Amino acid sequence: MSRLRLALCASTLAALAACGPAPIDASHQIGPNPYLPPLHQYLLPPMKLAKVIGWQAGQTPTAAPGLRIQALASGLKNPRSLYTLPNGDILVVETSGPEAPPIRRPKEWVMNWMEKNTHSTQQGHDILLLRTDGHGAVLQKSVFIDHLSSPFGVVLVGNDLYVADTDEVLRFPYQTGQTRITEPGVKLCDLPGGPIDHHWTKSLTASPDGTKLYAGVGSNSNITENGIPAEKDRAAIWEIDRATGAHRLYATGLRNPNGLTFEPQSHVLWAVVNERDELGPDLVPDYLTSVQYGGFYGWPYSYWGQHLDPRVKPQRPDLVKRAIVPDYSLSSHVAPLGLVFDTGDSLPPQYKGGAFIVEHGSWDRTQLNGYKVVFVPFGSGRPIGQAQDVVTGFLTSDGKAHGRPVGLALDASGALLIADDVGNTVWRVTAG
Site of interaction with other proteins (CB under 8 A): 1-2, 4-5, 8-9, 12-13, 16, 41-45, 104-107, 221-227, 278, 310-314
- Taking the least distance from each CB to other proteins, the nearer of 105 and 321 is 105
- Taking the least distance from each CB to other proteins, the nearer of 255 and 428 is 255
Please state the closest distance from residue 223 (CB atom) to other proteins, in A: 5
Please state the closest distance from residue 197 (CB atom) to other proteins, in A: 17
* Separation of alpha carbons 325 and 327, rounded Å: 7
* Separation of alpha carbons 280 and 282, rounded Å: 5
Q: Which residues of 380-412 are buried (b: 16+ CB within 10 A; e: fewer)?
A: eeebeeebeebbebbbeeeeebbbbbbbbbbbb
Q: Is 15 in a helix, a strand, or coil? A: helix
- Taking the least distance from each CB to other proteins, the nearer of 12 and 159 is 12
- Taking the least distance from each CB to other proteins, the nearer of 8 and 384 is 8
Give the pairing of strands 257-262 and 247-252. unpaired
- Taking the least distance from each CB to other proteins, the nearer of 13 and 186 is 13
CB-based burial label for 157 (10 Å; 0-12, 13-18, 19+): middle
Strand extents, DSSP E, 137-182: 138-145, 153-157, 160-164, 168-173
Please say whether the beta carbons of 302 and 322 come within 8 A. no
Please say whether the beta carbons of 158 and 210 come within 8 A. yes
Return the ∠ at Cα 86 (arms to 130 and 389), rounded to 5°: 70
Please state the closest distance from residue 107 (CB atom) to other proteins, in A: 5
Please state the closest distance from residue 284 (CB atom) to other proteins, in A: 13
Please state the closest distance from residue 202 (CB atom) to other proteins, in A: 23
- Taking the least distance from each CB to other proteins, the nearer of 27 and 41 is 41
- Taking the least distance from each CB to other proteins, the nearer of 8 and 246 is 8
Please state the closest distance from residue 43 (CB atom) to other proteins, in A: 4
Maximum Cα–Cα distance across the chain: 78
CB-based burial label for 207 (10 Å; 0-12, 13-18, 19+): middle
Please state the closest distance from residue 236 (CB atom) to other proteins, in A: 19
- Taking the least distance from each CB to other proteins, the nearer of 17 and 186 is 17
Q: Which residues of 42-57 are buried (b: 16+ CB within 10 A; e: fewer)?
A: beebbbebbebeebee
Please state the closest distance from residue 52 (CB atom) to other proteins, in A: 26
